[in-house]
């Protein structure tokens, strides 16, 4: 079974339960990853999201996503980020129904369809496998019991109250960041079927 490297995982990541997954959390430091295998990349997103102007990322945290894109383009695999991530225009990543010069393409998903408690619209940047060759997508409709970010507010920006129409509690940080087990297993299978692109990233030339 082909080894898959998971980059920028949480210390308590679900990926650590899977066989043939080389998981790189903050303690291991993904920047020390030697390469050589397809990847599943979850680089920090707070510096790239809709509320990035309110975020307080660590020094050099924003650059991790740029580095992760280059690794996906070099070794094949998949990168996950919020749908509204500014990483897409910054790295000229393809929008859905487009293909870039590396054979990469973007798949939009809702993580609630994989068991997440919030809708969590997400973009997946995939390199090394065509849309027609993707493994079957498992679906487990989530309850969408929670919200993330500014959703569920009144027009004046104030929060809805418990019992008020449209109210849903906010996700706690661990719940926001954890990749649902069903989605994690599927992303690993996607990466495992990816082949190393024949064209390296421009930064590597």
Q: Which has the closest alpha carbon to 42: 10, 16, 11?
A: 10
- Indicate the domain borders of the chain: 4-141+176-204
* pLDDT of 63 above 90: yes
Residue 112 confidence (pLDDT): 87
Residue 132 confidence (pLDDT): 97
Distance, CA of 126 to CA of 190 (rounded, Å): 9
Residue 53 confidence (pLDDT): 57
Distance, CA of 66 to CA of 71 (rounded, Å): 9
User: What's the whole-model pTM score?
Assistant: 0.81
pLDDT band at 163 (very low <50, low <70, confident <90, very high): very low
Query: Per DSSP, what are the bridge partners of residue 24?
Result: 7
* pLDDT of 158 above 80: no
Residue 164 confidence (pLDDT): 45
Q: Report residue 80 as tokens.
A: 């996950």
pLDDT band at 167 (very low <50, low <70, confident <90, very high): very low
In tens, the pLDDT along 14-59 reads: 999 999 999 999 999 999 999 999 999 999 998 897 655 565 667 7
Taking phi over 0 as left and psi of -120 to 50 as alpha, with beta for the rest, 84 belongs to alpha
- Check residues 151 and 16 and name the one with the higher pLDDT: 16
* pLDDT of 198 above 90: no
* pLDDT of 149 above 70: no
DSSP secondary structure letters along the chain? ---EEEEEE-TT-GGGGSTTEEEEETTT-GGG----S-EEE----TTTSTTGGG--PPTTHHHHHHHHHHHHHHH-EEEEEETT-THHHHTTPPPTT---TTS-EEEEEEGGGBT-SS--EEEEEEESS-GGGPPPPP-B-----EE-TTTTB-TTSPBPPTTSTT--EEPPHHHHHSPPHHHHHHHHHHHHH----SS--GGG-
């Amino acid at each position: 079974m082909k080894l898959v490297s998971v980059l920028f995982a949480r210390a308590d990541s679900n990926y650590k339960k899977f066989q043939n997954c080389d998981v790189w959390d903050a303690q291991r430091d993904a920047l020390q990853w030697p390469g050589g295998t397809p990847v599943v990349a979850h680089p920090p997103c707070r510096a790239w999201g809709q509320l990035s102007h309110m975020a307080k990322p660590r020094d050099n945290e924003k650059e991790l996503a740029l580095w992760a894109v280059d690794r996906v383009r070099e070794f094949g695999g998949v990168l996950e980020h919020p749908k509204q991530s500014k990483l897409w225009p910054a790295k000229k990543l393809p929008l859905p129904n487009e293909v870039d010069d590396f054979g990469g393409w973007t798949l939009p998903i809702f993580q609630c369809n994989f068991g997440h408690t919030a809708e969590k619209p997400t973009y997946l940047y995939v390199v090394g496998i065509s849309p027609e060759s993707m493994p079957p997508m498992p679906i487990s409709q989530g309850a969408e019991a929670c919200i993330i970010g500014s959703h569920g507010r009144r027009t004046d920006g104030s929060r809805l109250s418990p019992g008020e129409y449209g109210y849903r509690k906010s996700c706690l940080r661990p719940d926001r960041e954890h990749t649902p087990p069903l989605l994690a297993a599927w992303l690993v299978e996607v990466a495992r079927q990816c082949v190393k692109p024949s064209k390296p990233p421009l930064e590597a030339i």
